[in-house]
A and B are shown apart, each in its own frame.
Chain A
């Protein structure tokens, strides 16, 4: 990459940083315009973590291949009783066993 191209990349990165910061402050700016939070809005906000994080899990379950799906099911079972470190370990062991021992 020459110098002009490199500066172009730096500008794109800075613009991406500003765009990201806007997403991180945007919700706060909107919500603080309101005097008080109605109960239904509060119920909606309480659902944010599970709702957003689920969308990062479900597609991977379907598109990751059957070995990933089996590993995620095992990790889910482990997660009902143990911490997420054990989930990661169990899922990783299962996927490694399938890939290197079975297939």
Chain B
């Protein structure tokens, strides 16, 4: 494990704060949205403690919803765990892709880094590396905690006050999550072959949803787009040294 010099620690501390406040509003919206969804947990036999315990240990929103739903239907435990694994399968791709940027983390730092590897964490880490800014552990942890801690709080509030929220459609909550993900997709539009990858993954996921079913459409659609990117002609950028580009 590398020894951190004091000055670099101070520098990292500043980055930590920057990571904490950066685009807080955007992630706040998503966290708030997810919190309301946890209201469902109580209907399916989860106590407030169980709901928070699940958020704190599994920490993967969509799969938690699947797990809660299946548990409410008395499905066999192995099938519940397998379903959670299937919904989270995309994280294997995230963790392979992020390896390039977090190689310098120590073993323990990597443990936390992978534990906190949720969709926005992955997207922001990739974007930060793309801008040529260093992915330090302090930045990573700072960014991770502003998602993790409010997420626990919203689970708690969602489980306690869940019954007070009526139909999420009536207040337009159902539209926010797909639009949030669409914003993340748009954020990568400068990358090579972005449009063909998005088109193929979208079509493949729709077809897989129809013929195979959820949640496999995520993995099938993703793999279709990734295979396409591997097969398309390589851009010249791979032969040239990486240039530092700063975008707003």
- A and B, one complex? yes
On A, residues with C-beta under 8 Å from B are 1, 6, 8-17, 19-28, 30-32, 37, 39-64, 68, 71-72, 75-76, 79-80, 83-85, 87-88, 91-92, 95-96, 99
CB neighbours of B123 from chain A (8 A): 49, 53
List the B side residues contacting A11 at CB < 8 Å: 77
**27 A–B contacts from the bound complex (CB under 8 Å):** A9-B45, A12-B81, A13-B58, A20-B58, A20-B85, A23-B91, A27-B93, A27-B97, A28-B95, A28-B99, A30-B92, A31-B95, A43-B232, A43-B234, A45-B96, A46-B97, A48-B93, A48-B226, A50-B225, A54-B205, A60-B177, A64-B178, A72-B178, A72-B179, A84-B179, A88-B176, A99-B169
Please tell me if the beta carbons of B226 and A51 are within 8 angstroms of each other in the complex.
Answer: yes
The main secondary structure of chain A at its interface with chain B is helix
A28 to B99, CA, bound (A): 6
Q: Flag if A45 contacts B100 (CB, 8 Å).
A: yes
Are A15 and B53 also in contact (CB < 8 A) when A20-B60, A59-B217 are? no
B contact residues around A96 at 8 Å (CB): 171-172
Task: List the B side residues contacting A46 at CB < 8 Å.
Answer: 97, 191-192, 229
Q: Which residues of B contact A (CB under 8 A)?
A: 25-26, 29, 45-47, 50, 53-54, 57-60, 63, 67, 71, 77, 80-82, 84-85, 88-100, 103, 110, 114-115, 117, 119, 122-123, 126, 169-172, 174-189, 191-194, 197-198, 201-206, 209, 214, 217-218, 220-232, 234, 238
Residues of B within 8 A of A60 (CB): 177-178
* Chain A residues near B119 (CB-CB < 8 A): 53
Instruction: Report which residue of A1, A47, A59, A72 has the largest number of chain B beta carbons within 10 angstroms of its beta carbon.
Output: A47
CB of B73 to closest CB in A, whole Å: 13
Q: Which of A6, A47, A63 contacts B225 (CB 8 A)?
A: A47
Interchain CB contact under 8 A, A55 and B217: yes
Apart from the given pairs A16-B57, A17-B59, 5 other A-B contacts in the complex at a CB distance below 8 Å: A30-B96, A51-B225, A53-B181, A64-B178, A99-B172
Q: Report how far A26 CA is from B137 CA in the complex, Å.
A: 20
Cβ-defined contact, A58 with B202, below 8 A: yes
| Contact with A64, one of B96, B171, B174, B181 (Cβ below 8 angstroms) | B174
CB pair B26–A59 under 8 Å, yes or no, is: no
Inter-chain contacts of B47 with A (CB < 8 A): 1, 6
Closest to B189 in A: A50
Contacts of B99 in A (CB 8 A): 27-28, 31-32
Contacts of B25 in A (CB 8 A): 85
The reply to whether A47 and B90 form a contact with Cβ atoms under 8 Å apart is no
The answer on a CB contact under 8 Å between B194 and A50 is yes
When C-beta atoms are compared, the residue in chain B nearest to A92 turns out to be B172
Is the beta-carbon distance between A20 and B91 smaller than 8 angstroms? yes
- Contact status B175-A92, CB under 8 Å: yes
